[in-house]
Amino acid sequence: MAQLRYKRILLKLSGEALSGEKGYGIDPEVLEQYSREIKRVVDMGVQVAIVIGGGNIFRGVQGERTGIDRVQGDYMGMLATVINAMAIQSSLEQHGLFTRVMSAIKMEQVCEPYVRRRAVRHLEKGRVVIFGAGTGSPYFTTDTTASLRAIEIEADVVLKGTRVDGVYTADPFKDKTATRYTTITFQDVYEKKLSVMDLTAFTLCKENNLPIIVFDMNQSDNLIRLVQGEEVGTLITVDVPSESV
Q: Dump pLDDT digits (tens) for 160-204.
A: 998 889 999 988 888 889 999 999 999 999 999 898 999 999 999
Domain membership of residue 143 (yes or no) is: yes
Q: What is the mean pLDDT of the segment spanning 200-215?
A: 96
How distant, in Å, are the alpha carbons of 103, 140, 232 from that of 71?
18, 10, 37
Domain membership of residue 199 (yes or no) is: yes
Residue 244: is its pLDDT beyond 50?
no
Domain membership of residue 242 (yes or no) is: no
Domain membership of residue 140 (yes or no) is: yes
Q: What are phi and psi of 43, to 5 degrees?
A: -65, -20
Domain membership of residue 28 (yes or no) is: yes
Whether the Cβ atoms of residue 145 and residue 134 lie closer than 8 Å to each other: yes
What's this model's pTM, rounded to 2 decimal places? 0.92
HSE, CB side, 13 Å, CA atoms: give it for residue 70: 6
| Count of domains for the chain | 1
* CATH number of the domain bearing residue 24: 3.40.1160.10
Domain membership of residue 243 (yes or no) is: no
Task: Write down the pLDDT at residue 24.
Answer: 84
Domain span at residue 213?
Answer: 8-237
Question: Which strands sit side by side in the sheet containing 112-113, from one edge to the other?
Answer: 112-113, 99-103, 128-132, 47-52, 8-13, 157-162, 212-216, 234-237, 183-185
Domain membership of residue 232 (yes or no) is: yes
Residue 130: is its pLDDT beyond 70?
yes
Domain membership of residue 62 (yes or no) is: yes
Spatial separation of the C-alpha atoms in residues 222 and 218, rounded to whole Å: 8
Whether the Cβ atoms of residue 83 and residue 71 lie closer than 8 Å to each other: no
Average pLDDT value over all residues in the chain: 92
